[in-house]
Structure 1
Amino acid sequence: MVGKKRAKRTDLCRFQGFRCFSLRDHEIVVAFDEAITVTTGSRLPPIWNRSCDLAELRQLQGRLAPFLLKLLQAELEHEAKPDLIRRCRDPDIRDTCDYCWTLLFSAGWMCQHCGWEVCNECLCLLPSNSEKPEHQCLSRTGLYHTLPDFVPISRFAPGEVEQLILDIETMLHNIPPSCPFTVTPSIATAMQRADSNREIISIPHNELTNDLFVHLWARDDPYPLVVTPIPGRKLLQYPWTPEFFTNITGKTGCEAQDCETGDIVSTTVGDFYSLFGKEYDNRQVLRLKDYPSSELFQTTRPYSDLHPDLMNATPVSDYIRQDGCLNAASYFPRGAAKSDLGPKMYSALRDRNSIGSTRLHMDVAPAFNVLAYADSQGGANWKIFARKDADLLAAWMRKRYKIKGHPVHQQQIYLTDNNLVDLRKETQIHPYTIDQRQNQIVLIPPGCPHQVSNQVDCIKAAADFLLPDHLEHCLRLTTEFREENLVEGPWMVDVLQVKLTVLHAYVNIREQCMGLERSDLSSAANLEDYSMVIDDAQNPQQVYHSIPSSPGQFSTFQDPDSSTPSDLQDEDTMDKVMALQDTLQSNSSSAKSAYSGGIVIQQTKAEKNRENRERKKANKIMKCVTKSNEPFRCPWCSAMHQCSADILRHINTSHAFKKALSNTQAKSLKRAHQDELVEKLKDLSIP
């Protein structure tokens, strides 16, 4: 239903924005209204770790495009279904299937009666599971959902999918081939040992470059890596010790989990960390459960001070930092629906009796994990299986353990040394073994089963990221997690949202590429114009008393230190400029004196007033033409554009206007100077 605008938007009504209630014979008739085609603009991060050049962005876009093209082609088939309803995206609402909890990329099916929305896969389950309690229609007591109850839903605007497909297909034909990369002999030897004997590849922090990282991970079976700190250089600037956390948040309540039984124990941060370094019989192997949360880590001091400290410690920061310019997840708009990729802290006591600090599991996204604190000279022992061995490992575990669901995804097993010996005998597979020390970083590819046993009391910090070369496998894991949600109800939320993440990344990178291309064209055009400037035109008075012979020559009257904004290059605007200058030239000639048959024609008062009005109009337009070379700045983020039309388009797509601009407002904003435009946009838009 359509209601008043709320201060904080929540998904309280599934029909918000496109369903209305009408009256017929004093009875309420429920029906679908016309689709809303205006989508909510994205809100990009304020800044990335560095600026990428056009070639880098095009390469990144090309690595994302094939994956996105498959999604859009499937979406196009869905949009062809009859009775399609279009919904707007809301950056503060995470649209998920009400049955399997998986993200709804765009396509969905909604019950016309109660608003229950499911994905394409779950819709196919209705005929065989229509009597399940969770399939009951909420608005009709005792009745269950059937296929005729559902209408197709899309979250794309009309024509948007076709335009994106066309853009991708065109772009893929113009992507230059990447340069071949050759590894050093030492790295080549390490790769051979990793393949044959599962020996871990260890690389110093300053030697792991972007190209080397991609070479090691952009393969069907990527290598887990250990990144060692640079000798003599401090990796983390904050102490990250039990005493540090006790001093700043010691009295804060939290929950600890028993790693053996799974039981939850209520405690405080100080009481938990007071157990570090103490040994006594029958001590529980406890770990802090979800504290601090990712939100607390990023928004609330003192943990928010640790967030940049952790990000500054990352290797290959372009890919791993959460604001990394080559991290596809960094382009997801800010909002409550943003993917939850950390960072998170993992504080746990020393393992005993091979209980395991973290049971065997797989991550849906690539992850980095730094051991920030170890109680003594020990550390954390990792067992990481190769991605290609994951299916064989799962099959072996199904035979050995009675687990409902996927034996790895359910996270119920920790493989002891004896278990690993049996596994190798029966399947010939064995894991990589890592003894992680303080300030060492472990990089884990998605889809690699792994488990951790703390040899001493440890504090670790971790975060996920998204490498363009792992998209297909991330999607496969998302599908496997969806199937786990169908075993015994909701089990795991789709935190990565890989489909929507790639869509946002592609669209926003495309916008940056277009801006850079326009900037290059504008710079080239200005250089050409400057060479045509004549000395007389540098006199401001001559701007108003010279008639250009054609609209294309109008730029010769601009100040050599300024550039003509591209939004004045359209034919309509230039015609108005020329008409005003023609009128002004005519009036100026009359104002001085004009001889006709030897008689001086005096200017009337009305003519003087008309000339003043025309001169003011010309001054206003020339004020736009002679704008400075400074770019147009966005008031909400670091975006820079060469003309006012581009910054208005950026505000509309990356932020949002409080209300739709009228034609008069749009024209006024386009003519405004840079500083003036920033102030106006602050009043008219929101971040």
Structure 2
Amino acid sequence: MSDRWYEYQVGDCQRGRWSRWYKCTHCTARQMGDTCRFVNLRIFPLRSLDGKLIVADPEDDDALDYAPFFGNELPRKVTFDYPRAKSLFPPASAASISDIKSTVAISLHQTMKMELDHAARPETLWRNPELVIRPQCDFCLTSLFSASYCCRCCGKEYCLECTEALKAKEATPGKWNQVASVEKCRLQRVHTFSELWPLTRFRVEELQDEVREMERVQRGGLTSGFTLSETESRLPEHSVQLEEPQENADPAVPSDSVPLEERTRQWYKSLDGPTVDAAIGSHRLQEFHAGHDETAFRKLWARGEPVIVHDCIRDSQEGEEDERGEWGPQSFCTSRWQEEPCRITRCDADNAHQDVYVSDFFSTFGKSPEEKLAKLGKGVWKLKDWPPSSAFDDAFPDLYKHFNRALPVPAFTRRDGRMNISALFPTNANAPDLGPKMYNAWPSTEDQVGMGSTRLHMDIADAVNIMYYAAKPLNAEELPLAHRDGVAAWDIFPAGDSNKIRDYLRETRKVEEHEDPIHSQKYFLDAGDRQKLWDTKGVRSWRIYQKAHDAIFIPAGCAHQVCNLTDCMKIAVDFVSPENVARCFRLTAEFRALSNNKVRSWKEDVLQLKSMLWHAWRACREME
């Protein structure tokens, strides 16, 4: 064997000299956003023929003697370009670096110890970390931090949890459901654990150094942040109490001549938003005005509750352009947008959409229902997650600057904010897309006919949403005083009530067996539902009426929904605050658990939380 020559597969499986051997899943399916799984890992013994070294043909009689095997990838220089302290907003300080490091050390320490155990196994192979490609589990779609298992036959790569499901084959339904899909290999084969080899993207020495540093940080208690225990008993002077349930606030009950069950159904069906507001009240909402103190905000944000900030888009100051009214529907009705296509979807129907020009959609804002019907047809239409592909700052550079000026607590919410953990992702890597995005919609209703503007769901990261424009309702004089300027009604529920909400939806909707009724984003809790949810489960929301220039902070892990009561334009951006990392981890696990035996996970792990925390740690280490 000592006189043998070998070569690495340095191209994809379709290339000439390697194409006769079995191919990886990528080279078979040609999936976008992926690369050959065997490149730089598969090694071919070479045979001599007529004085030349060649790759053997798998049909040769002695092909098994020349079968490929796998080895460590040859090292190449991979440099992550981390942001510098001065490039953040405001520039990173010793205190902010300490806060981030402490958060990561607490959150990632156990994961790094598991990574170290995995990497230290003698059979574990090493490959270079990826810059452009975001590796993910081929079954549950969870982003792969480092440790994984790869099939030597098809190249599919699995996270540790899916590998354990394959290995254990225990008799719990969840495990069995996952194993049925995880086992699928190529050519009708099934995976066996013996065909999977452990893979890592870390060097053992690197892991040992970082684990020691994380333990040192934890022992030193490096943090100046806030925790729930510090703040749970302190309410600031600027917090307000919304209305509690009012006596005799119930609407008229249907006649006793109607059977009780039908009478109850009719009663819930007859309810409207303001009536239910008066009947069940709301959780205490914390309110600020623009220019508030960041320290006060952090004390409240650590509680895991929503916050509203008023007047984010302020009156112009001397030497500045007028910010009020600069951006509204008229901004997208100019000639530039007359031939720019967009896809709008119906809020009040499933899977209904149409392609229109941007200017046609925005020209309907502030118009009567009859005019809207004539322009775009039946339905409650919205343009969400816009722009769909290009970066917001590329599509709307002026509006992006305007939005950054309006953002409250910019150290947390700006994409380059020093307390925004996602801001520390390498600039040359495939970073998660956390926005900003625009959300524009016509008014909907809170009765059983309407489905709101955004159905009940839960975000994997923190978010802030600024109302840029709200049309004054045409029937303003008929509305409650608080709604006459135009509002969007938000219901944000405590994270701890999520399972009660799931139970309620399973009792009142036709929820499929493996469906999570919150994460599926299929359902809207109308006014009657909110009343019944309070009556049967003791659950109510933070009920918030967002006006123009209000910013609403939504903590990760809080189920929420929105019903625009007028034409609204909003811009939202996600961020990752140190206070809510634990919730982000829980949600990542919930999304992963949605995998079943019929399909892979329906939702990709776009946040890349472990990778994000690791890069934040490395960035902070470089700044010190």
Place the TM-score, normalised by the shorter chain, in its bin: 0.7 to 0.9
Query: Residue deviations 1:286-330, cap 9 Å, x none?
Result: 111432136331324xx1332222122111111111100111110
When residues 272 and 332 of structure 1 are mapped into structure 2, their CA distance, relative to the original with a 3 A threshold, is same
Amino acid aligned to 1:364: I
Letter in 2 for 1:240: W
Q: Residue 17 of structure 1 aligns to which amino acid in structure 2?
A: N
* 2:240 and 2:287 in contact (8 A); partners too: no
1:224 partner amino acid = P
State the distance in 1 between where 2:159 and 2:225 align. Answer: 40
Q: In the TM superposition, what is the alpha-carbon distance from 1:185 to its structure 2 partner?
A: 8.4
Q: 1:490, CA displacement in angstroms?
A: 3.6
Alpha carbons of 1:216 and 1:20: their partners in 2 closer, same or farther (altered >3 Å)? Answer: same
What does 1:594-633 align with in structure 2 at a 5 Å threshold? none
Q: For the residues of structure 2 that align with 1:459 and 1:75, how far apart are their CA atoms?
A: 45
Partner of 1:495: 606
Matched, 1:407 2:502: no
Q: Residue in 1 aligned with 2:540?
A: 430
Matches of residues 305-454 of structure 1 in structure 2 within 5 Å? 305-335=398-428, 337-352=430-445, 353-376=449-472, 377-404=485-512, 405-454=515-564
1:252 aligns with 2:355: no
The 1:348–1:45 alpha-carbon spacing in structure 2 relative to 1, beyond 3 Å, is farther
**Hey, what's the Cα distance between the residues in 2 that align with 1:275 and 1:373?**
14
- Tell me, yes or no, if structure 1 residue 287 matches structure 2 residue 382: yes
- The amino acid of 2:284's aligned partner reads E
Q: Are 2:211 and 1:136 equivalent residues in the alignment?
A: no
Secondary structure, in 3 states, of the residue corresponding to 2:108?
helix
**Within the alignment, does 1:479 sit opposite 2:589 as a pair?**
yes
> Structure 1: how far apart are the matches of 2:411 and 2:93?
13
Query: Is contact 1:203–1:226 with CA below 8 Å preserved after alignment?
Result: yes
**1:512 lines up with 2:623 in the alignment:** yes
Aligned-partner Cα distance in 2 for 1:237–1:40: 46
| Matched AA of 2:311 | P
Residue 236 of structure 2 corresponds to 187
How many residues align? The count is: 504
Equivalent residue of 2:333, what SS?
helix
Cα pair 1:110 1:118 within 8 Å, conserved: yes
Check if 1:163 corresponds to 2:209.
yes
SS at match of 1:290: strand
SS in 1 for 2:68: strand
Q: Given that residues 296 and 304 in structure 1 are in contact (C-alpha distance below 8 angstroms), is that contact kept between their aligned partners in structure 2? A: no
Alpha-carbon contact 1:359-1:451 (below 8 Å) kept: yes
Q: Distance in 1 between matches of 2:243 and 2:603?
A: 32
1:18-167 alignment runs, 5 A limit: 18-24=41-47, 26-27=56-57, 29-38=67-76, 40-45=78-83, 47-126=87-166, 127=169, 128=176, 132=180, 135-138=183-186, 141-167=187-213
Shift of 1:246: 2.5
Match of 2:349 in 1: 261
Q: Identify, as 1 or 2, the structure richer in helix.
A: 1
Could you tell me whether the CA contact under 8 Å between 1:39 and 1:157 is conserved in 2? no
Per-residue CA deviations over 1:260-308 (Å, capped at 9, x if unaligned) read 22212122212222222231268311111432136331324xx133222
- C-alpha change, 1:288 and 1:503, in structure 2 (3 Å) is same
Computing the radius of gyration from Cα coordinates, the structure with the larger value is 1
Secondary structure of the residue aligned to 1:472 is helix
Residue identity over aligned pairs, in percent, reads 31
One-letter code aligned to 2:147? A
Q: TM-score, normalised by structure 1?
A: 0.68
The answer as to whether partners of 2:231 and 2:302 remain within 8 angstroms in 1 is: no
Which residue in the other structure is 1:239 paired with? 326
Q: Distance in 1 between matches of 2:69 and 2:575?
A: 43
* CA–CA distance in structure 1, aligned partners of residues 506 and 397 of structure 2: 42
1:249 and 1:20 mapped to 2: Cα distance? 54
User: Cα distance, 1:153 vs. partner?
Assistant: 1.0
TM-score by length of 2: 0.75
Alpha-carbon deviations, 1:317-351, whole Å to 9, x = none?
11111100111110011246211111111011111
Cα contact 2:471–2:568 (8 A) shared by 1: yes
Alpha-carbon distance between aligned partners in 1 of 2:549 and 2:241, rounded to the nearest angstrom: 27
Contact kept in structure 2, 1:345 and 1:462, CA below 8 Å: yes
SS at match of 1:295: coil
CA distance in 1, matches of 2:386, 2:242: 38
Q: Which moved more, 1:85-94 or 1:281-290?
A: 281-290
Partner AA of 1:350 in structure 2: P
Q: 1:264 to 1:329 in 2, by over 3 A?
A: same
Pairing 1:543-562 to 2, within 5 Å after superposition:
none
What per-residue deviation string (whole Å, max 9, x for no partner) do you get for residues 64-123 of structure 1? 211121210121222243410112112211111111111111111100111100111112
Cα distance change, pair 74–231 in 1 and its aligned pair in 2 (3 A) = closer
Please tell me the residue identity of whatever aligns with 2:184. Answer: Q
